[in-house]
Amino acid sequence: MEPPSTGGVTAAGNNTTHKFHPCDEAVIATNDDASDCKRCAVRLGYWKDDYIGYFVRNQERKAPEINRGYFARVKGVEMCVEKFLKKTSGNCQIINLGCGFDTLYFRLRDTAHQVKNFIELDFPTVTARKCYTIKRNKALLAKIHDEDGEVRLSPTDLHGPSYHLMGVDLRNLDEVDNKLQQAEVDYTLPTIFLAECVLVYIEAQNCRNLLKWIAQKFQAAVFVNYEQVNMNDRFGEVMLNNLRIRGCSLAGVESCLSLETQNQRFKECGWSGARAWDMVQVYESISSAERQRIERLEMLDEGELLLQLFQHYCLVVAWLGVAFQDLDITVEELMSSLNID
C-alpha cells in the first residue's frame, strides 16, 4: 500500500496499536452492508452520489423498503448538516464518527458549501480500505488537495489541507484526542458530529464517556445521531436477534428503547438539550414533491414493512450552548443543495 507517485502525496508513519473486542469484526462488516445499500439506491436514482461507486462495486439489488429507508436516512442527516452550514456560513468543522465509506466530504466539495475542517474517524481496518481507495483514484485525491497543499498518507490515516481520515477506536479517548490534534481540530469552532448506527455498538459506559468528553471539550456543537429506537417491542426483538446471529451485540441498546431514552443519553452527558424523531416523522418532513419522485422509482408490495422499519429508526439532534437549539428537521421549500435535487 505505497502511496501513488503523483505529485503532492507523501507517506507518513503510523505506529498506533489497536485492541479489538470480540464483536468488532461484525460491527466493521456493517459498513459494507450500509455502503452496498447506499450504492444500490444511488444506482436506482434515489439521490445523486458520484463517489460511492469508487468504494463499492456491488451491483446487488436491494428490496424497495431498504432503498426508501436509506433515502430517508441520508436525506434526514443532510437536512441537519445543511441547516448547520447555513447557520455557521461554513465557519465550522464536521466530525464524522464511524464514517465508513461515507462520501459527504466529496459531495460537499461539489457544492457552494465549504467548511474549515472535515474529520473522519473509524476503525483502522475501515480507514485503511478508504485510504487505499482514495489513493488509487485521482478523482478523489483531486478533491482533497489543492495547488498549495499536500496529502500525507499512512496505511490507515490520510491528511489533506482541510480533510483528515484517521483510524481510531472511539472507546479510547486518549487516542481520539491525539488523532483530533493531528487533524488540527479547533475546539472553539462550531462543530457538527455525525454518527449513523455507531453509538449503539459502543458499550454504554464508553459511550457516556465519549459524549461527556465532547461536551467538555467543545464550546458550541451539534450531534446528529441516526440509529435504532423502540427496540423493546416484538419487531425490535427480531432486529436484535438478526444482528446477534451475525455476531453483532448492540452494546448500547439501552438508549434505544424510546425517543426519550435517546434524548436522555445526551442530556445526562452534559449536553444542553436534545430532540428526536422517528423516521416516519423524518420522511414526512421531506417535501411532497421529492417523496413523490422517489416513490415512483419502485413499487412497494405493501407499506407495512416500511412503516415498521421507519418506526424502529430515529434521528436525534443534540446541542451544546444555545446557538443551535433551534436546529430541527423541518424542511424548507428550497431543496437540499448537497445532492438530492
The per-type count for the chain, helices as H runs and strands as E runs, is 13, 10
Total domains, the chain: 1
Structural domain range at position 103: 22-320
* Residue 2 resides in a domain: no
- The whole-number pLDDT of residue 22 equals 59
The fraction of the chain above a pLDDT of 90, given in percent, is 77
- The whole-number pLDDT of residue 7 equals 36
Strands (E), 143-264: 151-153, 158-159, 163-167, 191-196, 221-228
Other C-beta atoms within 10 Å of 194: how many? 22
Strand order in the sheet with 163-167: 9-11, 151-153, 158-159, 163-167, 117-122, 93-97, 191-196, 221-228, 313-320, 273-278
**Residue pLDDT, tens place only, 89-146:** 999 999 999 999 999 999 999 998 889 999 999 999 999 999 999 999 999 999 998 6
* Residue 119 resides in a domain: yes
Strand (E) or helix (H) holding 34: helix 24-44
Rg (CA), the chain: 19
**pLDDT for residue 84 is more than 50:** yes
Alpha-carbon distances of 107 from 112, 170, 282, rounded to whole Å = 10, 25, 22
Q: What is the DSSP letter of 121?
A: E
- The whole-number pLDDT of residue 30 equals 79
Going by C-alpha positions, the residue among 294, 313, 303, 142 that lies closest to residue 231 is 313
Q: Which residues of 84-101 are buried (b: 16+ CB within 10 A; e: fewer)?
A: bbebbeeebbbbbbbbbb
This prediction has a pTM of 0.90
- The whole-number pLDDT of residue 28 equals 80
Write out the binding residues for S-adenosyl-L-methionine. 73, 98, 169-170, 196
* Residue 86 resides in a domain: yes
**pLDDT for residue 10 is more than 70:** no
**pLDDT for residue 78 is more than 60:** yes
- The whole-number pLDDT of residue 20 equals 52
* Pairing between β-strand 163-167 and β-strand 117-122 as defined by DSSP bridges: parallel
pLDDT band, residue 208 (cuts 50/70/90): very high
* Residue 6 resides in a domain: no
Tally of CA atoms within 13 A in the half-sphere of 329 that contains its CB: 29
* Residue 12 resides in a domain: no
- The whole-number pLDDT of residue 150 equals 84
The helix/strand/coil state of 151 is strand
* Residue 332 resides in a domain: no
Write out the binding residues. 73, 98, 169-170, 196
**pLDDT for residue 5 is more than 60:** no
Give 275 or 17, the one with higher predicted confidence: 275
* Residue 1 resides in a domain: no
* Residue 183 resides in a domain: yes
- The whole-number pLDDT of residue 21 equals 67
Chain mean pLDDT for the chain? 89
pLDDT band, residue 26 (cuts 50/70/90): confident
CATH number for position 183: 3.40.50.150
The fraction of the chain above a pLDDT of 70, given in percent, is 89
